[in-house]
């Protein structure tokens, strides 16, 4: 089977995935062209004596398709393929004729657990006790950790209505400067706050989120309230039901006060209302895609926020803005009612001002949901305790160009009694994993590509969604399977690397951990560890101007990557480091 002419490819290439965009029309006015060959061929009538001759349009298209796939067939092989392609293309037409929308899941559901993976069997949640002093100024309240807000509400030292009005005022004053608010919800919020106050007064305390104002990334459905996905084609989209996370936070008594910005279709920090800003440097974006969730939390506009991540959308804006972001294990939190980028990758998690805050929020939104087949219902286990005696592993190459606070944080961990072990991480072509993300996104946003709605998106650069989704229609299906097999290798590599350790530590955006662990499903905790002076950057961390503008004082962060379904170890490590550094108390210079 394997001559030299096929050394760059494989015979099981699904040619329909490449020719289908030209051969199959889904609806009148769609971008999909008419048949490539046949009576209605755009090149005119075919040669009935030799319909698949070397000069035919069908042969030219097939030759171009195989070149895109890195293959080379003989003329005889091409004729043989063309003689049978009609049946395969008919299957492609059937698949494209379906109208499944964005959310409907595939039959195959990703499970991050390899055979033998240990997971908690009993739920145990014991956070650190919080006994904060009485609330001070309005600004002190606005920037207080969730643990303090919760204690004040329960002790009736401040009412939920008062707290909600405080945050609504800050949203109105500072939200436009940060370009982080898509829809403010004052009426809904005050009604929920009054209900929370009445329940707390009557002794019906729902838990630590009861009465606390929060913000939702605007890809979480809210019944009767626009959920825009940050994208021009969906500005008027109004769902009929709430996302599962919204329902669970409502049940916990939390008060939703705003829908917060995201980069359009969960990419970057640019949305139809502008570019969400980093509260520490208004000349640069907040990164994304949970742009508004990170910016609003760090700026003291909400008590906490919810973000989502497919490939860095919690970690990256938390790093840029100095938030504390938790990306839970894949399958912990229901994505039902959330916009899909990739079914096997999307995760929902809290963005807060302190480590312990993320634990309180995850406890409220965690759990099995039959409407999201990826949820597993693994018990959440956490007992607040010291970090002394815990073991961390890292590849020293990840810190070769690390910022000074990131390197100093390693020394601080050692002073806390944490053992740090240097060990190289496996070298593989991990970038190939992205094929699966691109293919899933192309399916999730198929209507954008086929109906030309992608032209409405403001961001049209080569790296933006419209071009990426179009190119993704040309990914050979067999290569997606190969990428999925590489994903299994990644899962085994993470299992082996973590064996005997409590977590991995690295600069948030340095090394392969960010991308790799999104594909393996491992949890992460990102927290600020200091500040640096650097020029303004774009969403990819590159200088945003030429020459770059004057340096600004901005946060520097580390990320801890933990075992599957064991967020508790991350919280104890994070709490210890957070307490030793005292960085989280600092506030951005906003008037």
- Six-digit token string for 204: 């019906």
> Residue 402: which pLDDT band, with cuts at 50, 70 and 90?
very high
- Give the Cα-Cα-Cα angle 257, 259, 262 (nearest 5 degrees): 145
pLDDT tens digits, 147-161 = 999 999 999 999 999
Residue 591 lies in a domain: no
Residue-wise DSSP of 507-547? ETTSSSHHHHHHHHT--EEEEEEEEEEE--B-TTSSBSSSS
Q: What are the angstrom distances between the C-alpha of 350 and each of 88, 130, 189, 309, 464?
A: 45, 19, 19, 11, 26
**How far apart are alpha carbons 444 and 484 in whole angstroms?**
18
Query: Which of 369 and 12 is assigned the larger pLDDT?
Result: 369
Cβ distance 90 to 310 under 8 Å?
no
DSSP 230: T
Query: Which of 324 and 66 is assigned the larger pLDDT?
Result: 324
Show Cβ contacts of residue 169 under 8 Å, excluding neighbours closer than 6 positions.
none
Residue 37 lies in a domain: yes
**Where in the sequence is the domain holding 237, given as residue range(s)?**
135-375+384-429+479-581
pLDDT tens digits, 292-320 = 999 999 999 999 999 999 999 999 999 99
Rg over alpha carbons for the chain, rounded to the nearest Å, is: 26
Q: What are the angstrom distances between the C-alpha of 186 and each of 193, 259, 278, 352?
A: 10, 11, 24, 21
**pLDDT tops 50 at residue 27:** no
**What number of helices (H) and strands (E) belong to the chain?**
18, 17
Question: What pLDDT does 549 receive?
Answer: 78
Q: Which helix (H) or strand (E) holds 466?
A: helix 465-472
Mutual orientation of helices 465-472 and 434-444 as an angle, nearest 10°?
100
Question: What pLDDT does 86 receive?
Answer: 84
- Smallest CA-to-CA distance from 220 within 246, 247, 238 is with 246
Question: What pLDDT does 52 receive?
Answer: 58
pLDDT tens digits, 252-289 = 999 999 999 999 999 999 999 999 999 999 999 999 99
Question: What pLDDT does 97 receive?
Answer: 82
> Residue 53: which pLDDT band, with cuts at 50, 70 and 90?
low
Alpha helices in 327-433 (DSSP H): 355-365, 404-415
Question: What pLDDT does 50 receive?
Answer: 54
- Six-digit token string for 414: 């050692």
The rounded mean pLDDT for the chain is 91
Domain check: are 86 and 139 in the same one?
Answer: no
Residue 366 lies in a domain: yes
Question: What pLDDT does 96 receive?
Answer: 86
User: Cβ–Cβ contacts within 10 Å for residue 424, how many?
Assistant: 11
Domain check: are 148 and 90 in the same one?
Answer: no
Number of domains in the chain: 2
Task: Kindly report which listed range (25-34, 157-166, 281-290, 569-578) carries the lowest average pLDDT score.
Answer: 25-34
Question: What pLDDT does 69 receive?
Answer: 86
Domain check: are 163 and 267 in the same one?
Answer: yes
Domain edge (last residue) among 77, 98, 119: 98
pLDDT tens digits, 116-131 = 999 999 999 999 999 9
Residue 190 lies in a domain: yes
Residue-wise DSSP of 33-57? ---SSSTT-TT-S--TTSTT-TTSH
SS3 label, residue 66: helix
pLDDT tens digits, 457-497 = 999 999 999 999 999 999 999 999 999 999 999 999 999 99
Domain check: are 162 and 75 in the same one?
Answer: no
Domain check: are 503 and 391 in the same one?
Answer: yes
- Smallest CA-to-CA distance from 346 within 244, 453, 241 is with 244
**pLDDT tops 60 at residue 6:** no
pTM given for the model: 0.91
Residue 281 lies in a domain: yes
Show Cβ contacts of residue 308 under 8 Å, excluding neighbours closer than 6 positions.
217, 219, 266, 289, 290, 314, 335, 338, 346, 347, 348, 349
**How far apart are alpha carbons 84 and 211 in whole angstroms?**
64
**pLDDT tops 50 at residue 26:** no
**pLDDT tops 60 at residue 9:** no
SS3 label, residue 383: strand
Question: What pLDDT does 160 receive?
Answer: 98
Residue 365 lies in a domain: yes
Q: What are the catalytic residues?
A: 217, 289, 313
Domain check: are 171 and 79 in the same one?
Answer: no
**pLDDT tops 70 at residue 5:** no
Domain check: are 267 and 415 in the same one?
Answer: yes
**pLDDT tops 60 at residue 34:** no
- Give the Cα-Cα-Cα angle 312, 314, 319 (nearest 5 degrees): 90
Q: What are the angstrom distances between the C-alpha of 564 and each of 153, 306, 464, 543?
A: 34, 21, 32, 35
Cβ distance 546 to 378 under 8 Å?
no
Domain check: are 61 and 189 in the same one?
Answer: no
**pLDDT tops 50 at residue 168:** yes
Domain edge (last residue) among 71, 98, 125: 98
| Region of residue 71 (phi > 0: left; psi between -120 and 50: alpha; otherwise: beta) | beta
Question: What pLDDT does 463 receive?
Answer: 94
Residue 466 lies in a domain: no
Domain check: are 68 and 158 in the same one?
Answer: no
Domain check: are 312 and 172 in the same one?
Answer: yes
pLDDT tens digits, 438-456 = 999 999 999 999 999 999 9
Task: Kindly report which listed range (77-81, 121-125, 191-195, 318-322) carries the lowest average pLDDT score.
Answer: 77-81
Q: Which helix (H) or strand (E) holds 308?
A: strand 304-309
**How far apart are alpha carbons 502 and 457 in whole angstroms?**
43
Q: Which helix (H) or strand (E) holds 462?
A: none
Domain edge (last residue) among 46, 74, 98: 98
User: Cβ–Cβ contacts within 10 Å for residue 386, how many?
Assistant: 13
Cβ distance 333 to 306 under 8 Å?
no
Residue-wise DSSP of 138-197? HHHHHTS-HHHHHHHHHTTSS-HHHHHHHHHHHHHHHHHHHT-EEEE-HHHHHHHHHHHH
**pLDDT tops 60 at residue 2:** no
Cβ distance 338 to 348 under 8 Å?
yes
Cβ distance 257 to 171 under 8 Å?
yes
Domain check: are 90 and 140 in the same one?
Answer: no
- Six-digit token string for 239: 């769902």
User: Cβ–Cβ contacts within 10 Å for residue 25, how many?
Assistant: 17
% the chain with pLDDT above 70: 91
Q: Find the Cα–Cα–Cα–Cα dihedral 157, 159, 165, 170, rounded to 10°.
A: 40
312 by Cβ neighbours in 10 Å (0-12 / 13-18 / 19+) ranks as: buried
DSSP 332: S
Residue 473 lies in a domain: no
Q: Taking the alpha carbons of 530, 534, 537, 543 in that order, is the dihedral positive or negative?
A: negative
Domain check: are 419 and 521 in the same one?
Answer: yes
Please report how many Cα atoms fall inside a 13 Å half-sphere around the Cα of residue 525, on the Cβ side.
32
């Amino acid at each position: 089977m394997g001559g030299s002419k096929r050394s760059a490819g494989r015979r099981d290439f699904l040619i329909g995935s490449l020719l289908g965009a030209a051969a199959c029309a889904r609806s009148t006015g769609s971008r999909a062209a008419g048949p490539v060959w046949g009576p209605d061929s755009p090149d005119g009538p075919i040669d009935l004596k030799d319909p698949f001759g070397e000069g035919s349009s069908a042969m030219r298209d097939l030759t171009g398709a195989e070149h895109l796939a890195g293959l080379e067939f003989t003329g005889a092989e091409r004729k043989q393929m063309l003689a049978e392609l009609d049946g395969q293309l008919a299957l492609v037409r059937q698949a494209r004729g379906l109208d499944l929308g964005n959310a409907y899941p595939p039959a195959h559901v990703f499970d991050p657990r390899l055979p033998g993976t240990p997971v908690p069997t009993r739920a145990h949640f014991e956070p650190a006790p919080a006994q904060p002093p009485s609330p001070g100024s309005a600004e002190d309240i606005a920037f207080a950790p969730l643990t303090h807000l919760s204690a004040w509400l329960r002790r009736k030292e401040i009412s939920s209505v008062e707290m909600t009005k405080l945050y609504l005022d800050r949203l109105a004053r500072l939200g436009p400067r940060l370009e982080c608010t898509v829809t403010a919800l004052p009426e809904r919020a005050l009604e929920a706050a009054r209900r929370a106050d009445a329940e707390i007064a009557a002794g019906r305390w729902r838990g630590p989120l009861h009465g606390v104002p929060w913000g939702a990334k605007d890809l979480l459905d809210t019944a009767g309230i626009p959920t825009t996905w940050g994208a021009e084609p969906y500005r008027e989209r109004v769902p009929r039901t709430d996302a599962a996370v919204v329902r669970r936070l409502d049940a916990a008594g939390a008060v939703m006060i705003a829908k917060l910005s995201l980069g359009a279709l969960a990419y970057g920090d640019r949305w139809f209302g502008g570019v969400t800003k980093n509260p520490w440097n208004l000349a640069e974006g907040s990164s994304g895609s949970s742009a508004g969730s990170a910016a609003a939390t760090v700026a003291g506009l909400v008590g906490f926020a919810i973000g989502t991540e497919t490939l860095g959308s919690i970690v990256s804006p938390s790093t840029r803005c100095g938030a504390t972001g938790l990306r839970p294990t894949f399958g912990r939190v229901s994505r039902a009612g959330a916009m899909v980028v990739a079914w096997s990758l999307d995760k929902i998690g809290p963005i807060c001002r302190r480590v312990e805050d993320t634990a309180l929020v995850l406890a409220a939104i965690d759990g099995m949901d039959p409407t999201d087949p990826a949820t597993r219902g693994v018990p959440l286990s956490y007992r607040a305790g010291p970090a002394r005696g815990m073991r961390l592993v890292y590849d020293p190459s990840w810190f070769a160009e690390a910022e000074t606070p990131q390197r100093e944080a390693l020394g601080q961990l050692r002073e806390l009694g944490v053992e740090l072990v240097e060990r190289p991480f496996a070298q593989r072509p991990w970038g190939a994993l992205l094929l699966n993300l691109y293919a899933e996104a192309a399916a999730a946003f198929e209507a954008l590509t086929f109906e030309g709605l992608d032209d409405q998106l403001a961001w049209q650069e080569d790296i933006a969604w419209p071009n990426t989704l179009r190119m993704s229609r040309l990914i050979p299906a067999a290569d997606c399977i190969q990428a999925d097999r590489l994903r299994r290798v990644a899962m085994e590599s993470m299992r082996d690397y973590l064996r005997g350790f409590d977590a991995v530590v690295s600069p948030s955006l340095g090394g392969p951990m960010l991308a790799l662990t999104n594909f393996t499903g491992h949890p992460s905790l990102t927290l600020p560890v200091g500040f640096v002076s650097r020029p303004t950057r774009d969403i990819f961390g590159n200088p945003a101007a030429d020459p770059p503008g004057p340096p600004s004082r901005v946060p520097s962060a580390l990320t801890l990557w933990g075992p599957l379904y064991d967020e508790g170890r991350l919280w104890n490590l994070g709490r210890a480091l957070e307490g030793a550094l005292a960085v989280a108390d600092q506030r951005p210079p906003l008037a």
